[in-house]
Structure 1
Amino acid sequence: MVSRISHTTLDAQDPYTLSLFWSAVLGYAEDPDDPNMPEHEENMIFSPDRSHRVLFIRVPEAKSGKNRMHFDLIPTDRTRDEEIERVRGLGATDVHDLREPDGGWLVMADPEGNEFCILRGDIERAEA
């Protein structure tokens, strides 16, 4: 027997706001039968096929230190740099630039400081 991941959980001071940010980044959505609300202690979003879920749980303390786990994102319909600009527009900030012309990534942070990386997109990978 093995285990499977039920969902990925992120602690948050404002789970509702983070659920909106990550919904926009990932193209995920809340459950229409159980909508996320600002006053909820937990807010969950689902991938379009509902195979992956991200749960945001309210905690009193702010994030401190570097994440031990993080998302590595690959843009599906644009380049890495185009996706970086889109995600910056959603409220992400740059943390550490490791981009190179033929690879690399940018480490970014969501509105509460959780790190994630954006790698080269599917379009760029197909051209290589």
Structure 2
Amino acid sequence: MTSYVSHTTVDCADAFTLSRWWQSVLDYREDPDDPNEPGHEECMIFSADGRHRLLFIEAPDTKQVKNRIHLDLRPAEGTRDEEYARLTELGATTVSDLRNPDGTGWVVLADPEGNEFCILRSEGEVAAGRS
């Protein structure tokens, strides 16, 4: 007997706003039969193939320390640095820049509520031996 991950849950202050932000980051969708709306305390978004889901749940407490679990993102198109630029334009903040002069490394960012995640190099960059 085994288990599988049904969805990843993110505690937050504003489920609707944060789900919309992550929707734009990941190009995820919401359930058209149960759309997310302002004021909803729980908002779910899905990957295009429906295999991964993120659930945002409003919680009364604020983030106090570093995440114990986080998402590692890899650009679907372009490079790590292009994706870094896109996400900071969307409102992500840099927590730690761990890129190296030889192109290796990653960047730790935080979403608008302070939840940390990483941007890794693209598969193309890995295949080319870059970063």
Question: Normalising by the residue count of structure 2, what TM-score does the alignment of the two structures yield?
Answer: 0.95
Deviates more, 1:118-127 or 1:51-60: 118-127
Q: CA deviation at 1:31?
A: 0.7
Whole-angstrom distance in 2 between the partners of 1:69 and 1:20: 21
Q: Secondary structure at the match of 2:106?
A: strand
Q: Secondary structure at the match of 1:103?
A: coil
Deviates more, 1:98-107 or 1:64-73: 98-107
Question: Normalising by the residue count of structure 1, what TM-score does the alignment of the two structures yield?
Answer: 0.97
Whole-angstrom distance in 1 between the partners of 2:43 and 2:119: 24
Deviates more, 1:97-106 or 1:41-50: 97-106
Q: Secondary structure at the match of 2:124?
A: helix
Structure 1 unpaired stretches of 5+: none
Count of paired positions: 128
- Paired letter, 1:92: A
- Paired letter, 2:52: H
Give me the identity figure in percent. 59
Pairing of 1:106-117 with structure 2 (within 5 A): 106-117=107-118
Relative to its length, the structure with more strand (as a share) is 1
Q: CA deviation at 1:102?
A: 3.1
Q: Where does structure 1 differ by over 4 angstroms across 4 or more consecutive aligned residues?
A: none
Whole-angstrom distance in 1 between the partners of 2:44 and 2:104: 32
Structure 2 unpaired stretches of 5+: none
Is 1:126 aligned with 2:121?
no
Q: CA deviation at 1:48?
A: 0.2
Is 1:38 aligned with 2:66?
no
Q: Indicate conservation of the 8 Å contact 1:7/1:53, yes or no.
A: yes
Residue matched to 1:14:
14
- Paired letter, 2:93: T
CA deviation map 1:1-38 (0-9, x unaligned): 00111000000100111101111111101111110011
Q: CA deviation at 1:89?
A: 1.0
Deviates more, 1:94-103 or 1:113-122: 94-103
Q: Secondary structure at the match of 1:94?
A: strand
